[in-house]
Amino acid sequence: MTEQKAWQAAFDVIASLEDNGYEAVIVGGAVRDSLRGHMANDVDVATNAVPEEVKRVFTHTADVGIQHGTVLVIHPMSPVEVTTYRTEGTYQDHRRPDQVQFVSSLVEDLKRRDFTINAMAMSGDRKIIDLFGGQEDLKNGVIRAVGEPIERFKEDALRMLRAIRFSAQLGFQIDDATFQAISRQAQDIRFIAVERIKAEFDKIFTSEHPENAMYNIQQSGLAPFLPGEYRHQASYWNHFKASEDARKGWAYFCLLQQPQDSQMMHAFKCSNNEKKQVDEIIKAYQSLISTGWTKKDYFTFDLEILKTAYEFANNFGKTIAQPKSLIEIEKIKSSLALQKKSDLVITGHDLIEWSGRKSGPWLKESLDQILTEILENRLKNERQQIKEWLLNERTH
Ligand code: ATP
Ligand code: MG
199/144 Cα distance (integer angstroms) = 21
The predicted-structure confidence for 290-334, as pLDDT tens digits, reads as follows 999 999 999 999 999 999 999 999 999 999 888 999 999 999 999
pLDDT value of residue 395: 58
Please tell me whether residue 70 adopts helix, strand or coil conformation.
strand
- Ligand 1, residues 42, 86, 113, 153: which to mutate, most atoms within 8 A of Cβ? 113
The predicted-structure confidence for 255-267, as pLDDT tens digits, reads as follows 999 888 888 999 9
Give, in order, the Cα–Cα distances in Å from 32 to each of 23, 56, 285, 350: 20, 30, 39, 65
pLDDT value of residue 57: 98
CATH of domain 342-394: 1.10.246.80
pLDDT value of residue 387: 95
311 and 236 Cβ atoms separated by less than 8 Å: no
Instruction: Answer whether residue 38 shows pLDDT above 80.
Output: yes
| Residue nearest to ligand 1 atom 21, measured at CA | 113
Which residue, 231, 142, 208, 224, is CA-closest to 179? 142
Give me the helices (H) in 272-360, please: 272-290, 295-300, 303-315, 326-334, 348-355
- Largest CA-CA distance found in the chain, in angstroms, rounded: 89
The CATH class of 1-134 is alpha beta
What secondary structure does DSSP assign to 242-278, as a single string?
--S-HHHHHHHHHHTSSS--STHHHHTT--HHHHHHH
Calculate mean pLDDT across residues 366-387. 95
Say yes or no: CB of residue 86 within 6 Å of ligand 1. Answer: no
**The domains spanning 1-134 and 141-238 adopt the same CATH topology:** no
Please name every residue paired with 132 in a beta bridge, in sequence order, or none if there are none.
none
Q: How confident is the model at residue 202 (pLDDT cuts 50, 70, 90)?
A: very high
Global confidence as pTM:
0.92
216 and 254 Cβ atoms separated by less than 8 Å: no
**What count of residues does the chain have?**
396
Residue 375 identity (one-letter amino acid): L
The predicted-structure confidence for 241-251, as pLDDT tens digits, reads as follows 999 999 999 99
284 and 254 Cβ atoms separated by less than 8 Å: no
**Kind of pairing between the strands at 44-47 and 61-65:** unpaired
The predicted-structure confidence for 214-243, as pLDDT tens digits, reads as follows 999 999 999 999 999 998 888 899 989 999
Say yes or no: CB of residue 221 within 6 Å of ligand 1. Answer: no
CATH of 141-238, one of 3.40.50.620, 3.40.1180.10, 2.60.40.420, 1.10.110.30: 1.10.110.30
Say yes or no: CB of residue 114 within 6 Å of ligand 1. Answer: yes
Q: Residue 203 CA: which ligand is closest?
A: 1
Which residues are within 8 A (CB) of 21 and not within 5 positions of it... i.e. 6 or more apart? none
- Whole-number Å distance, alpha carbon 203 to ligand 2 midpoint, is 12
Q: What angle do CA 146, 42, 274 make, to 5 degrees?
A: 95
Say yes or no: CB of residue 159 within 6 Å of ligand 1. Answer: yes
> Is the peptide bond preceding residue 323 cis, with omega within 30 degrees of 0?
yes
178 and 145 Cβ atoms separated by less than 8 Å: yes
- Judged by phi (left if over 0) then psi (alpha if -120 to 50, else beta), residue 126 lies in left
**Kind of pairing between the strands at 142-143 and 173-174:** parallel
Instruction: Answer whether residue 99 shows pLDDT above 80.
Output: no
pLDDT value of residue 71: 97
pLDDT value of residue 96: 76
Say yes or no: CB of residue 29 within 6 Å of ligand 1. Answer: yes
pLDDT value of residue 394: 66
Instruction: Answer whether residue 66 shows pLDDT above 90.
Output: no
Say yes or no: CB of residue 81 within 6 Å of ligand 1. Answer: no
Residue 233 identity (one-letter amino acid): Q
- Give the domain ranges of the chain: 1-134, 141-238, 274-334, 342-394
Instruction: Answer whether residue 396 shows pLDDT above 70.
Output: no
Instruction: Answer whether residue 284 shows pLDDT above 70.
Output: yes
Task: Please state, rounded to an integer, the average pLDDT across all residues of the chain.
Answer: 94
212/182 Cα distance (integer angstroms) = 15
